[in-house]
Amino acid sequence: MDELEKIRELYGEPPADPFLKARVRERLAAEPRRRRLPWTTAVAGLAAAMAVTVAVAVPGTPGEVRPPGQTATVSGRSILLAAAATAEADPVATSAYWRVRKLYRQTHPERLGRGENRYWVVESRLTEQWAARDGRVWSGSRTLGARPASGADTEAWRRDGAPTEWSSRDRVLSMSPEKGRLTAVTGRAPFSMAGRGMTFEQIQGLPADPAALKARVTEAVREGAPTGALDGVVADALSGLLWSKPSPPDVRAAAYRALAELPNVRYLGEAVDERGRKGAAFSFTVQATETVRRTLIIDSASSQVLSSTVTGRPGVVGDQVEVVLDAGWTDDPPAVPGLP
The secondary structure of 241-259 as a DSSP string is: HHHSS---HHHHHHHHHHH
User: Does 193 map to a domain?
Assistant: yes
Q: Which helix (H) or strand (E) holds 309?
A: strand 304-311
- What's the residue count for the chain? 340
Kindly state whether residues 71 and 33 are assigned to the same domain: yes
What mean pLDDT do residues 248-272 have?
Answer: 95
The predicted pLDDT at position 118 comes to 96
Q: What is the pTM of this model?
A: 0.75
Considering the domain architecture, whether residues 130 and 267 belong to the same structural domain is answered as: yes
Structural domain count of the chain: 2
Q: Is residue 207 part of a domain?
A: yes
Please tell me the predicted confidence (pLDDT) of residue 253: 97
Is there a single domain that holds both residue 52 and residue 128? no
Q: Which residue has the higher pLDDT, 254 or 169?
A: 254
pLDDT of residue 176: 95
Instruction: Tell whether 104 and 213 lie within a shared domain.
Output: yes
pLDDT of 230 strictly over 70 = yes
Query: What is the percentage of the chain residues whose pLDDT exceeds 70?
Result: 77
Asked if 132 and 66 sit in the same domain, the reply is no
What single letter denotes the amino acid at residue 107?
Answer: T
SS3 percent helix, strand, coil of the chain, rounded to 5, is 30, 30, 40
Give the residue, 95 or 40, on which the prediction is more confident: 95
In a domain, 31, yes or no: yes
242 within some domain: yes
* pLDDT greater at residue 146 or residue 9: 146
Q: Tell me, what's the pLDDT at 289?
A: 63
Kindly state whether residues 43 and 133 are assigned to the same domain.
no
Q: Are residues 137 and 255 in the same domain?
A: yes
If you average pLDDT over residues 219-245, what whole number do you get?
87
Give residue 322's domain range.
90-110+122-145+188-330
Lowest mean pLDDT among 6-10, 59-63, 90-94, 235-239: 59-63
- Quick one: 193 and 282 in the same domain? yes
Mean pLDDT of the residues in the chain = 80
Each residue of 14-28: pLDDT tens digit? 444 444 443 433 444
* Closest alpha carbon to 245 in 102, 119, 142: 102
Judgement on whether residues 130 and 266 belong to the same structural domain of the protein:
yes
In a domain, 337, yes or no: no
CA 95 to chain CA centroid, Å, is: 24
56 and 106 both lie in a single domain: no
Task: Return left, alpha or beta for 26; rule: phi > 0 is left, psi -120 to 50 is alpha, else beta.
Answer: alpha
pLDDT band for position 291 (50/70/90)?
A: confident
Q: What is the pLDDT of residue 202?
A: 92
pLDDT at 80 over 90: yes
Q: Does some domain include residue 44?
A: yes
Residue 13: is its pLDDT beyond 50?
no
- 230 within a domain of the structure (yes/no): yes
Last residue of a domain, one of 51, 75, 99: 75
CA angle (221 as vertex; 235, 304 as ends), nearest 5: 35
Whether pLDDT at 33 is above 80: no
Q: In this structure, are 66 and 130 located in the same domain? A: no
Mean pLDDT value of segment 326-339: 92
- Of the given ranges (9-13, 82-86, 126-130), which has the lowest mean pLDDT? 9-13
The answer as to whether 340 is a domain residue is: no
Of 61-65, 91-95, 175-179, 294-298, the least confident? 61-65
Same domain, 67 and 198: no
